[in-house]
């Protein structure tokens, strides 16, 4: 396993980089199932959603991303690994508000966070959601309080693991359309992160590697 040392100021770098043109679909496609629909079908209005790619420091100051494992339920994303977040509600003043509200409801977020920007929107064909992934940091740790009806487990993914090419593999998965596909995934310990979450992580990984290479 290869380890990268992130020597730059992560919050400062991400804040500046996310304000520039993003790698977008080029980066997302690296972790996309081959037959995946990239955009909403013409004439089909997608529902809006937002998730939070939240970085937190460990006790040594190394940054990790917060992910969740969905419980078993009758739905498209049962048992999948995801970012905390959910659908935009009528009372939400913005998609950032949606991401923060949903994260608070799902894992009990109770520390101050700084939203640094957003990654490229991604369309989820089975549920017809257009998801905006916001990137944020929390400068202090907290215990997590997962809502058992929405979250089975909170998972922390160190940056070093995300950047390690050896955790990328291929496997067989069942899509929300009940179709078996071969797809790339991130092997995080005993978890397989694939689909839309893997595509979001792929763009974030691309951006982080740009910072390391400078």
Looking at residue 37, its pLDDT comes to: 61
Picking from 126, 129, 105, the residue whose alpha carbon sits closest to that of residue 50 is 129
Looking at residue 87, its pLDDT comes to: 95
Decide if 52 contacts 134 (C-beta within 8 A): yes
Task: Count CB atoms within 10 A of the CB of residue 194.
Answer: 23
Looking at residue 177, its pLDDT comes to: 61
- Phi-psi region at 177: left, alpha or beta (left = phi > 0; alpha = psi -120 to 50): alpha
Interval 151-170: pLDDT, tens:
999 999 999 999 999 999 99
Task: Count CB atoms within 10 A of the CB of residue 147.
Answer: 14
Looking at residue 141, its pLDDT comes to: 92
pTM of the model: 0.92
Secondary-structure percent of the chain, ordered helix, strand, coil, rounded to 5: 25, 30, 45
| Residues with pLDDT less than 50, the chain | 1-3
Looking at residue 77, its pLDDT comes to: 52
Helix (H, G, I), strand (E, B) or coil at 30: helix
Looking at residue 2, its pLDDT comes to: 44
Looking at residue 203, its pLDDT comes to: 98
The domains found in the chain, sorted by start residue, are: 10-213 (3.90.79.10)
């Amino acid at each position: 396993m290869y380890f990268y040392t992130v020597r730059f100021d992560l919050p400062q770098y991400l804040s500046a980089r996310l304000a520039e043109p993003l790698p977008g679909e080029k980066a997302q496609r690296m972790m996309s199932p081959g037959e995946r629909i990239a955009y909403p079908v013409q004439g089909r209005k997608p529902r809006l959603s937002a998730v939070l790619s939240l970085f937190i420091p460990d006790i040594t100051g190394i940054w990790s991303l917060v992910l969740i494992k969905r419980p078993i339920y009758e739905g498209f994303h049962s048992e999948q690994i995801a970012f905390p977040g959910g659908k935009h509600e009528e009372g939400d003043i913005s998609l950032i508000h949606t991401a923060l509200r949903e994260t608070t409801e799902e894992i009990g977020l109770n520390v101050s966070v700084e939203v640094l920007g957003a990654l490229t929107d991604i369309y989820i064909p089975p549920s017809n959601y257009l998801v905006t992934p916001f990137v944020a940091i929390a400068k202090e740790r907290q215990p997590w309080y997962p809502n058992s009806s929405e979250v089975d487990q909170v998972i922390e993914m160190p940056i070093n693991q995300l950047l390690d090419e050896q955790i990328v593999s291929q496997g067989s998965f069942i899509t929300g359309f009940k179709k078996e596909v071969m797809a790339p995934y991130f092997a995080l310990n005993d978890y397989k992160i694939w689909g839309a979450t893997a595509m979001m992580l792929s763009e974030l990984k691309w951006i982080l590697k740009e910072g390391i290479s400078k």
